[in-house]
């Protein structure tokens, strides 16, 4: 038995296990028959490879696999508080949102959240916390700089280099048909193709349409109605009105310096020290120094600059320990310039 015949037999088993819709199963079985028929035709090698790849994609999609939701508001609040300091109004809105999902399990018709705020204010990590609190898998699709709607919807298999779209790629990665999919920075798509991309977003976010979302590569409707979409944006100016109508914007506040100090001490620094292999004996920071550390290079609404500063400090100390320059370092106003770039 040839290698190709083995591969086709293996795919046949996967087709049966995948429990595909009947019409799609017939199409796929037809493709497998054709692959075997063209096995010895060298001129059709590229064609058979394309068909094999198509069948592999079809059987790898989660047609019937889903995770069981955990809809427990007490647990959700604990997870939100574990990962995020402050942001009380935002957390309250998210808990209300989860309450609607709890009451409306059958229809999943909660409005789609859109977290709006400046860079580093915690939009993406809030989305991962929602997924964690619900026990769902998490997929992030970045829209920053996206220049073609086909990136989302896939390319027709007529093209030799055709690829499936990011939405179905995300579902394959998640391995379930009800993940949380984060549509990240939907306001930052390329200017020239914004209209086309917004058109696909309208279809994705509309519960009447997304139950039969058709990817050009798959060329068969896939039910996205169980996916929980969450969007983020820096602002809503560049988002089409038709898309905004389907979203419920939540404004992310900027952090005050006091909040940043608390976040740096209790969240950022302990995590970075763990990742760097440092302990509290290796690195201590003078209490009076924190206000300078959270704003070393001027104002920043989020905590990205803060995280970079802390990261640079941990790296520097880790290197000095490895080079044998000491085992315990105390950072003060007098020596901070040796460790951190400041004005």
Q: Where are the domains positioned within the chain? A: 3-60, 73-251, 257-338
Question: What is d(CA 314, CA 334) in angstroms, rounded to the nearest whole number?
Answer: 18
The terminus-to-terminus CA distance of the chain in angstroms comes to: 72
Instruction: Give the pLDDT of residue 222.
Output: 94
Q: What is the CATH code of the structural domain delimited by 73-251?
A: 3.40.50.300
Question: What is d(CA 190, CA 146) in angstroms, rounded to the nearest whole number?
Answer: 6
Question: What is d(CA 84, CA 92) in angstroms, rounded to the nearest whole number?
Answer: 13
Tokens encoding 21:
């819709």
Q: Which of 103, 105, 77, 104 is nearest to 91 (CA)?
A: 77
Q: Which residue has the tokens 């939701």?
A: 69
Instruction: Give the pLDDT of residue 207.
Output: 81
Q: Specify the pairing of strand 213-214 against strand 221-222.
A: antiparallel
Q: Which of 187, 184, 171, 182 is nearest to 229 (CA)?
A: 182
Fold exhibited by the domain 257-338: Helicase, Ruva Protein; domain 3 (1.10.8)
Instruction: Give the pLDDT of residue 130.
Output: 92
CB atoms within 10 A of CB 145: 9
Question: What is d(CA 213, CA 38) in angstroms, rounded to the nearest whole number?
Answer: 32
pLDDT tens for the chain, 343 residues long, are 467 778 888 888 888 888 888 999 899 888 888 888 887 777 778 888 888 889 999 999 999 999 998 888 999 999 998 888 878 888 898 888 888 887 876 555 667 899 998 877 788 889 999 999 999 999 999 998 899 999 999 999 888 788 999 999 999 999 999 999 999 999 999 888 899 999 999 999 988 888 899 999 999 999 998 899 999 999 888 899 999 998 999 988 877 778 888 888 888 888 888 888 888 888 888 888 888 777 655 556 667 778 888 888 898 899 989 998 888 888 888 888 887 776 4
Question: What is d(CA 220, CA 212) in angstroms, rounded to the nearest whole number?
Answer: 8
Question: What is d(CA 332, CA 77) in angstroms, rounded to the nearest whole number?
Answer: 37
Contact indicator for 297, 343 with CB cutoff of 8 Å: yes
Question: What is d(CA 112, CA 225) in angstroms, rounded to the nearest whole number?
Answer: 12
Question: What is d(CA 226, CA 224) in angstroms, rounded to the nearest whole number?
Answer: 6
């Amino acid at each position: 038995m040839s290698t190709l015949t083995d591969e086709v037999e293996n795919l046949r088993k996967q087709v049966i296990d995948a429990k595909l819709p009947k019409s799609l199963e017939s199409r796929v079985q037809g493709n497998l028959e054709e692959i075997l028929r063209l096995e010895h035709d060298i001129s059709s090698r590229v064609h058979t490879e394309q068909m094999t790849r198509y069948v592999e994609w079809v059987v790898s999609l989660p047609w019937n696999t889903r995770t069981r939701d955990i809809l427990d508001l007490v647990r959700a609040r604990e997870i939100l508080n574990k990962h995020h300091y402050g942001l009380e109004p935002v957390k309250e809105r998210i808990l209300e949102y989860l309450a609607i999902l709890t009451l409306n399990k059958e229809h999943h018709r909660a409005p789609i959240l859109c977290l709006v705020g400046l860079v580093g204010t915690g939009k993406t990590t809030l989305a991962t916390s929602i997924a964690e609190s619900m026990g769902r898998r998490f997929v992030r699709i970045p829209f920053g700089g996206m220049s073609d709607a086909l990136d989302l919807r896939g390319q027709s298999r007529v093209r030799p280099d055709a690829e499936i779209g990011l939405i179905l790629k995300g579902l394959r990665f998640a391995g379930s048909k009800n993940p949380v999919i984060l549509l990240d920075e939907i306001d930052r798509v390329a200017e020239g193709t914004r209209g086309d991309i917004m058109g696909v977003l309208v279809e994705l976010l509309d519960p009447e349409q997304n139950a039969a979302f058709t990817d050009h590569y798959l060329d068969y409707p896939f039910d996205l109605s169980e996916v929980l979409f969450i969007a983020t944006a820096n602002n809503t100016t560049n988002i089409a009105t038709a898309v905004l109508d389907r979203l419920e914007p939540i404004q992310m506040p900027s952090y005050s310096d006091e909040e940043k100090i608390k976040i740096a001490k209790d969240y950022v620094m302990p995590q970075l020290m763990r990742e760097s292999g440092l302990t509290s004996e290796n690195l201590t920071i003078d209490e009076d120094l924190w206000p300078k550390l959270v704003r070393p290079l001027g104002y920043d609404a989020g905590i990205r600059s803060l995280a970079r500063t802390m990261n640079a400090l941990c790296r520097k100390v880790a290197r000095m320990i490895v080079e044998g320059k000491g085992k315990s370092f105390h950072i003060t106003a007098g020596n901070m310039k040796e460790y951190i770039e400041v004005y």
